[in-house]
Structure 1
Amino acid sequence: MKDKLEQLFYFGLGSALMAKEKLEQAGESAKGLKEENERKAREFFDQAVAKGSEERGRLKEEVKQLLKEAIDELGLASKADLDALREELARQRQGQS
């Protein structure tokens, strides 16, 4: 009977230690997964920001081109046209003086 109780005690102790080791291993594994997931999330974020920045530049140029076409179609004066007109008026005023 004493041997059976002793074996039962060692069985309980051994089981508890094995469970502790398994939990520690699982904790280390989870920590590694967490670090890997954080790294992947950072990479994804950086890639998304870079892609968004590239797209912003492309869209900006596309909008500029569309505005230029609309201004041309409507026959509106551009900044260059207005500057040339101002220079012409200034020359005419100087000639009258």
Structure 2
Amino acid sequence: MIKDILYTGLGGALLLKERVDEEIEKLQERGKLSKDDATAFLEKLQTRGEEEEEKFKAQIKEALKEVIDEMGLATKEDIEALKDK
């Protein structure tokens, strides 16, 4: 399930990137955006995307921890503690 969510998110991101690239190319063709400006914009967009990806991963991780706690499942640390006893 989580794998499907991640693949859906990646697919959406790729589609968005393609659309952004198309729009930037159109703006360049019309002379409304220089190559340097387009490159800077894409780099800024990529950086922001990476930051958002990290936030998303942290949120998924936290949600999974909450589900595990609510279900009362043993964690790796719980199992290691039992092994040590």
Superposition TM-score tier, normalisation by shorter sequence: 0.5 to 0.7
Which structure: larger Rg? 1
Per-residue CA distance 1:9-30 (angstroms, 9 max, x = gap): xxxxxxxxxxxxxxxxxxxxxx
Percent identical pairs in the alignment equals 38
> What is the one-letter code of the residue matched to 1:52?
G
**Larger RCO (CA under 8 A, 6+ residues apart):** 2
Note the aligned Cα RMSD (angstroms): 1.6
- Output the TM-score relative to the length of structure 1: 0.53
User: In the alignment, is residue 71 of structure 1 matched against residue 68 of structure 2?
Assistant: yes
Distance in structure 1 (CA, Å) of the matches to 2:64 and 2:79: 17
May I ask how many residue pairs the two structures share in their alignment? Answer: 55
- Output the TM-score relative to the length of structure 2: 0.60
Unaligned runs of 5+ in 1: 1-32, 89-97
Distance in structure 2 (CA, Å) of the matches to 1:67 and 1:84: 21
User: In the alignment, is residue 47 of structure 1 matched against residue 79 of structure 2?
Assistant: no
- Cα shift at 1:84: 0.2
- Could you say which structure has the higher helix fraction? 1
Distance in structure 2 (CA, Å) of the matches to 1:86 and 1:56: 36
TM superposition outliers: structure 1 runs of 4+ over 6 Å: none
Q: How does 1:17-96 map to 2 (within 5 A)?
A: 37-88=34-85
Per-residue CA distance 1:42-82 (angstroms, 9 max, x = gap): 01110111001100110011001000000001000011101
